[in-house]
Amino acid sequence: MSGLTQLIRKDLRHHRRHFILASIGIVVGIAAFAFFLALGSGVRSVVLGEIFPLDKLEVIPRSTDVDLGPLRVGMGKDTLNDEAAKKLGEIEHVTGVYPKMKLTVPSIAAGGKELFGNAMRTEMVADGIDPKLVAEDIDSKYAFAYFDDREATKACKTDADCGETMLYCGDPLPAHAMTADGATAGEDEPAAEVADAPKGKVCRHYVPVIASNHLVEIYNGTIRRAHSLPKLNPNFVLGLKFDLRVGASMVRASKRKKVITERGRLVGFSDRAISLGLTLPLGYVSRYNVLFDDPNAAKTFHSIIVDVDAKDNVAGVAKGVEDAGFDVADSGAEQAAMLIAVFMMVFGFVSIVIVGIAAINIMHVFFMLIYERQREIGIMRAVGASRANIRTIILGEAAVVGALAGVVGVGLSMLAAYGFDLVSAKYIPDFPYKPDTYFEFSPLLLATSVGFAIGFCVLGAVLPARRAAKLDPAVVLTGQ
């Protein structure tokens, strides 16, 4: 075997020009293949890893609308309650069940002067979630939990008197925030504040709030530039304090209720927080909803997040959810995954076609070389090479050419990817989820690319190798 290896080496060196020419197509094809697949899987891991994490499902009540073509008849909804949560928890492969509730009370968040230069006010969209769901995303300095401040009595003059990071010195909760039926007077915001005139400050808990990484991404990628505001670094924003006016609205006056003013504090970022809005511990949202809206609100959830043990089991769990009588909210992940898969398939296919055509080119070159080397092959046969030896030599040469072409192709694609990332970092303005690299060259991809290159080269050389093995040494050596 080592003898044949030596021969292959010598032949490759001798015919290197031919082989280099022959392998250009393979190099290009493999470069394209590796490039597009790396791009696809890089984008995929951003999209499915960060934008639409796939290891959880959001369960929503089944909409029992009967679809009669243009006529949609609403038939009401099943509610999500503790019983539903329990049922969902029993589905196989579900590792956690976390109820989620929307804040149905119009509210305003205001503050951020230290960040933006001006105090900002914004209508607040908020969700309440089970704090356990995000426990690992909360900085140890802070706490994300429901604090019942109805009993807060410790008197204070400044925040320092209260000591803890989650405490501030503020007004006690107003009377109307104490009970569910609260105030019924239809006062406006200012009136409410007057009504709740301070009786002396006490140590209060900040309402802990988390935001999603999406929010930061979207802010940094778009909003910031439109309004020429500073770029936010999540670590820098952490701990931000602001006012939370529950029951207040910028667009319409709160219906009948009085406003409750609280201090909020940003205590973490999580992929499980809602994308556009703030996420609070479930207890707060439940209390506000009950106070302002509906006494039954405490028992019904808007959705339930279901954790799945592995991505591969998501589909099975989704089916279990539907069997249990609920629906799975469409996160867009499926479409995104499908889109990326199609992208990868199309470009992968195009690249393989290039490689395939290149293999035909390889075949031509090998046929030509074998014609040129007939005498050489005849000599080898005369001194003892068997047909199998000749075949091995030709296929071995093809394999080496393929391996080299594959390595060069992969190298080129990595170089191109590097260049692309460089250009992106330098010239493409930030956009949400703009990654440092768009590419993911997994060892599997590298091995597959080189494997394809070898495979196609060898495939291209099969017929030429057969012809070479069949050459009649008597004929080629005596030149008849």
Partner 1 sequence: MIRLSGVHKTYRTGQTSLEVLKGVDLEIGDGEFVSIIGRSGSGKTTLLNIIGGLDSDYTGKVEVEGRKLSEMSDRDLSRYRNRHIGFVFQSFHLLGHMTCLENVILPSLFNGGDGGLSEKQAQDRGLELLAQMDLADKAHARPIHLSGGQKQRIAIARALLHKPELLICDEPTGNLDRDSGDAILKLFSQLNERDGITLIIVTHDDIIAEAAARVVRIVEGNVVEDRRSEPNKNVDTSTSQREESA
Ligand X SMILES: Nc1ncnc2c1ncn2[C@@H]1O[C@H](COP(=O)(O)OP(=O)(O)OP(=O)(O)O)[C@@H](O)[C@H]1O
Site track 416-455 with ligand X (rule: CB under 6 A), x = hit: ----------------------------------------
- CB-nearer residue toward partner 1: 48 or 477: 477
Closest approach of Cβ 376 to ligand X, in Å? Answer: 19
Tokens 């999603």 label which residue?
Answer: 212
Instruction: Count the Cβ atoms, other than its own, within 10 Å of residue 200.
Output: 9
Pick the closest to residue 101 from 240, 312, 301 (CA basis): 301
Paired with 301 in beta bridges are 80
Pick the closest to residue 44 from 453, 341, 261 (CA basis): 341
Among 147, 306, 475, 477, interactor with ligand X by CB under 6 A: 475
Q: What is the CA radius of gyration of the chain?
A: 34
Total number of residues binding ligand X (CB under 6 A)? 3
- CB-nearer residue toward ligand X: 228 or 480: 480
- Tell me if 375 contacts ligand X by CB under 6 A: no
Distance CA 391, CA 377 (A): 10
Burial of 3 (0-12, 13-18, 19+ CB in 10 A): exposed
- CB-nearer residue toward ligand X: 153 or 480: 480
- In contact, 403 and 12? CB cutoff 8 Å: no
- Tell me if 346 contacts ligand X by CB under 6 A: no
**Which residue number is nearest to ligand X in terms of Cβ?**
480
- Tell me if 479 contacts ligand X by CB under 6 A: no
- Tell me if 480 contacts ligand X by CB under 6 A: yes
Total residues belonging to the chain = 480
Q: Please name the residue ranges forming H helices in 324-373.
A: 333-372
**Apex 191 CA angle, 185 and 194, nearest 5:** 115
- CB-nearer residue toward ligand X: 174 or 473: 473
- Tell me if 228 contacts ligand X by CB under 6 A: no
Choose the contact partner of 388 out of ligand X, partner 1, none; CB within 5 to 8 A by kind.
Answer: partner 1
Choose the contact partner of 416 out of partner 1, ligand X, none; CB within 5 to 8 A by kind.
Answer: none
- CB-nearer residue toward partner 1: 278 or 380: 380
- CB-nearer residue toward ligand X: 268 or 473: 473
Interacting residues with partner 1 (CB under 8 A): 1-4, 6-7, 10-11, 14, 375-376, 378-389, 472-474, 477-479
Instruction: Count the Cβ atoms, other than its own, within 10 Å of residue 186.
Output: 12
> Which of positions 176-195 make contact with ligand X (CB under 6 A)?
none
- In contact, 187 and 259? CB cutoff 8 Å: no
Q: Which residues bind ligand X (CB under 6 A)?
A: 475, 478, 480
